[in-house]
Amino acid sequence: MQNNQAPIPYPPRALSTKDVLYLKDALSWELLAFKKFHFFAQQVSNSEIKQALEKAGKMHQDHFQKLLAHLQVDNNAALASLPSQQKNQQS
C-alpha cells in the first residue's frame, strides 16, 4: 500500500480526544523503552554495548520529551481560536 499524502508540516493547533489518547500511549511506549535500555545498560560490563544501550535509551528519552511538548498546550484556547463550522458555512 502506498501513501501518497504529503506529511503534515506542523502539528495541529488543537488536539482531539483521539490525538491525546494516542500521544499518551506513545509516551508510555517511549518511557518503557527508555527504562528498559537504561536497565540493560546497567547490567552489562562491555563498555561498547553499554554505550550503545545508553544511546538507544537517550533516543527514546528525547522522543518522550518531544511528544510531551505536544501535550503542553492550552487545548481550550486552541479550540477557541479555530473557526467554527457555522462561520465556515456562512462564508
- At 19-64, the pLDDT tens digits run 888 888 999 999 999 999 999 999 999 999 999 999 999 999 999 9
Domain presence at residue 10: no
Residue 70 has pLDDT above 90, yes or no: no
Closest C-alpha among 52, 33, 32 to residue 44: 52
Residue with cell 488543537: 14
Residue 90 has pLDDT above 60, yes or no: no
- Write out the three cell numbers for 20: 491525546
Please provide the size of the chain in residues: 91
Domain presence at residue 4: no
Domain presence at residue 51: yes
Q: How confident is the model at residue 68 (pLDDT cuts 50, 70, 90)?
A: confident
pLDDT on residue 11: 66
Arithmetic mean of pLDDT over the chain: 82
Q: Which domain holds residue 66?
A: 17-81
Domain presence at residue 32: yes
Domain presence at residue 8: no
pTM: 0.66
Domain count along the chain: 1
Residues 91, 56: Cα–Cα separation, whole Å: 51
Residues 58, 61: Cα–Cα separation, whole Å: 5
CA angle 46, 52, 55 (to 5 degrees): 135
Domain presence at residue 36: yes
